[in-house]
């Protein structure tokens, strides 16, 4: 175990700021308020002084040999992996690098259909062929959970030539698949295991939380420390256990897409966040989990509210559960999740992570306080009393695995025409459509558009959900394959 109290990159950055070097390199603001006056007045001049360029003393992200390398080694040690790579393009760049490192053009990858849009974009970049697994569904909550070992066994049997298995750990609402069995099954069949652990950066730092992917033997995982670990937005890490995939090949792939002008503010925050998680995480999450259990107990006493947790574990799609994901089912109050999301923001000045038809999701992490968590509980008690309506049943439209007509990459580059969404049934999509957050596609390039997709998009529009992916900002039209 390395000394997790060390912060080699952040220390070098502090020394650079103290040295007060006369700068004739970039960035152009030259570390003073003359270069970015209005920004400096609000943020402070020190942030400009630490916004540095790559140099010998601060190392280079594209080929680290100094303080970045040391910081990455500490990150790998903290997560139980052989190697780590700092990411300044978010976990999106990590997901792309994982898939491009493991799967060549034309090769198959097995993944759940509720994967994030970054995975679909990685299929376009890599020219890999997706084999989708339908995730398990919790019909009471109206959400998808993890993938079952049985479904994966069937997918592997039907596609023994697949090169990799990709999954999320945990899902947005905290469901965790049986990772240990999935990893062992995949490896026995010669397939690498890639894990989008964007919402699981905190998992290794408490014995009360489920184990993280790398400690269970996954080949690669991308973790968003900015989401649940405390670093600055857009900063993440890519983790690697060598075997199926080599260090050099991952480094090469990352350098295809990641910026050559890496932000030292982002990287410095990764270094400090890792230290904080490693040194203080066990104690911090012990108290956070106590607050969460108290919050769930109070919420579940409110008529029509269900704050779900570890009782949802069924040994199938939910083999374990991440309690830091405070999912709150609200539909029995007569309100939709979308309505509660808006009321909390507009009337109580509280921002939750996301909403769907039945639920809202609050993410609780290292920066939270008991006071703020209880303020959320108080707000939900109050809004239910003020806004409660007659319970109603919202039609939940389950989306089955789509029929893939052409590969995502072929569809992306194909000739396209624009049609109205209502007339698109039976066409092959040339674009993606998704609600954001969470960024899970409803339709992706190369898939046959079905009536249930159109109906579901209509339902989301009725709830004023933010839809993205199409060139049409109103999502009334969609590009499909073919020529006008």
pLDDT tens, 7-18? 999 999 999 888
Chain segment 337-368, per-residue pLDDT in tens: 999 999 999 999 999 999 988 899 999 999 99
What confidence tier does 469 reach under pLDDT thresholds 50, 70, 90?
A: confident
What confidence tier does 28 reach under pLDDT thresholds 50, 70, 90?
A: confident
356: in domain: yes
pLDDT reported for residue 144:
86
Interatomic CA distance for residues 124 and 117, integer angstroms: 11
Distance (Å) of CA 309 to CA 205, 221, 306? 19, 25, 9
304: in domain: yes
pLDDT reported for residue 198:
95
Same domain, 420 and 476: yes
368: in domain: yes
pLDDT reported for residue 396:
56
The total of other beta-carbon atoms located within 10 Å of residue 429's CB is 29
Chain segment 290-334, per-residue pLDDT in tens: 999 999 999 999 999 999 999 999 999 999 999 999 999 998 999
| CATH code of residue 470 | 3.90.100.10
Same domain, 383 and 423: no
Size of the chain in residues: 484
Interatomic CA distance for residues 250 and 261, integer angstroms: 19
372: in domain: yes
Same domain, 382 and 286: yes
Chain segment 235-263, per-residue pLDDT in tens: 999 999 999 999 999 999 999 989 999 99
Cross-strand partners of 328: 307, 360
Tracing tokens 């490693």 back to the chain, one arrives at 278
Instruction: Pick 224 or 55 by higher pLDDT.
Output: 224
| CATH code of residue 344 | 3.90.1150.150
The mean per-residue pLDDT over the stretch 125-143 comes to 89
How many independent structural domains does the chain possess? 2
Same domain, 381 and 303: yes
DSSP 81-131: -SEEEEESSHHHHHHHHHHHHH--TT-EEEEETT--HHHHHHHHHHT-EEE
469: in domain: yes
Q: Return the closest-CA partner of residue 236 out of 86, 73, 77, 122.
A: 86
Cross-strand partners of 164: 109, 192
Interatomic CA distance for residues 439 and 467, integer angstroms: 9
Cβ(119)–Cβ(432) under 8 Å? no
Same domain, 363 and 291: yes
Long-range contacts for 246-255 (Cβ within 8 Å, ≥24 apart)? 247/82, 247/83, 249/101, 250/83, 250/85, 250/97, 250/101, 250/220, 251/85, 253/97, 253/100, 253/101, 254/85, 254/87, 254/93, 254/97, 255/62
The rounded percent of the chain whose pLDDT value lies above 90 is 74
168: in domain: no
What confidence tier does 25 reach under pLDDT thresholds 50, 70, 90?
A: confident
298: in domain: yes
pLDDT reported for residue 110:
97
Same domain, 285 and 383: yes
> Does the pLDDT value for residue 102 go beyond 70?
yes
CA atoms within 13 A on the CB side of 134: 9
Q: Return the closest-CA partner of residue 221 out of 165, 267, 266.
A: 165
Chain segment 376-393, per-residue pLDDT in tens: 999 999 999 999 887 766
Cβ(227)–Cβ(202) under 8 Å? no
Q: Read off the tokens for 87.
A: 């990411």
349 CB contacts (<8 Å, ≥6 apart)? none
Distance (Å) of CA 367 to CA 57, 127, 171, 336? 31, 39, 21, 28
pLDDT reported for residue 391:
74
Interatomic CA distance for residues 188 and 185, integer angstroms: 5
Same domain, 425 and 463: yes
pTM for the model stands at 0.92
pLDDT reported for residue 143:
85
DSSP 154-168: HHHHH-TT--EEEEE
76: in domain: no
Distance (Å) of CA 223 to CA 61, 198, 206, 229, 230? 18, 5, 16, 9, 12
The alpha helices in 300-369, defined as continuous H runs, are 337-348
Provide the terminal-to-terminal Cα distance of the chain, rounded to the nearest Å. 62
Residue 447 lies in domain: 408-481
């Amino acid at each position: 175990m390395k000394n997790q109290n060390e912060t080699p990159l952040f220390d070098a950055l502090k020394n650079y700021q103290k040295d007060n070097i006369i700068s004739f390199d970039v960035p152009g603001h030259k570390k003073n308020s003359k270069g970015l006056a209005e920004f400096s007045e609000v943020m402070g001049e020190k942030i400009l002084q630490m916004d540095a360029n790559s140099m010998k003393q601060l190392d280079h992200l594209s080929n680290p040999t100094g303080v970045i390398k040391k910081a990455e080694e500490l990150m790998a040690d903290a997560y139980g992996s052989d190697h780590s790579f700092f990411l300044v393009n978010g976990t999106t760049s990590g997901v792309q690098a994982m898939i491009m490192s493991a799967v060549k053009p034309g090769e198959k990858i097995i993944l759940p259909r509720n994967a994030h849009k970054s995975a679909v974009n990685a299929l376009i970049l890599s020219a890999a062929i997706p084999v989708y697994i339908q995730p398990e569904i919790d019909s009471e909550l109206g959400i998808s959970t993890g993938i079952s070992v049985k479904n994966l066994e069937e997918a592997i049997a039907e596609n023994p030539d697949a090169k990799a298995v990709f999954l999320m750990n945990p899902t947005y609402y905290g469901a965790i698949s049986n990772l240990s069995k999935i990893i062992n099954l995949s490896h026995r069949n010669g397939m690498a295991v890639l894990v989008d652990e964007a919402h699981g950066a905190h998992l290794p730092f408490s014995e009360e939380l489920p184990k993280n992917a790398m400690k269970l033997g996954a080949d690669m995982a991308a973790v968003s420390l900015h989401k649940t670990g405390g670093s600055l937005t857009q900063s993440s890490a890519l983790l690697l256990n060598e075997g199926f995939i080599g260090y050099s090949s991952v480094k090469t792939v990352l350098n295809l897409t990641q910026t050559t002008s890496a932000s030292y503010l982002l990287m410095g925050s990764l270094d400090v966040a890792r230290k904080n998680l490693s040194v203080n995480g066990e104690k911090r999450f012990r108290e956070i989990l106590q607050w969460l259990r108290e919050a769930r107990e109070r919420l579940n006493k409110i008529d029509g509210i269900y704050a779900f947790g570890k009782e949802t574990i069924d040994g199938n799609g939910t083999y374990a559960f991440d309690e830091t994901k405070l999912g709150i089912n609200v539909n029995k109050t007569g309100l939709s999740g979308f309505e509660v999301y808006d009321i909390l923001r507009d009337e109580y000045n509280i921002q939750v992570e996301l909403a769907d038809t039945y639920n809202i999701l609050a993410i609780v992490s290292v920066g939270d306080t008991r006071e703020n968590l209880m303020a959320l509980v108080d707000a939900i008690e109050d809004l239910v009393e003020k806004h409660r309506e007659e319970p109603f049943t919202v039609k939940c439209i389950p989306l089955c695995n789509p029929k893939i007509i052409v590969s995502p990459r072929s569809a992306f580059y194909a000739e396209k025409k624009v049609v109205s969404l209502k007339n698109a049934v039976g066409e092959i999509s040339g674009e993606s459509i998704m609600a954001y957050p969470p960024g899970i596609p409803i339709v992706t390039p190369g898939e046959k558009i079905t009536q249930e997709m159109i109906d579901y998009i209509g339902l989301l529009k009725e709830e004023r959900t933010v839809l993205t992916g199409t060139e049409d900002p109103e999502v009334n039209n969609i590009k499909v394959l073919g020529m006008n």
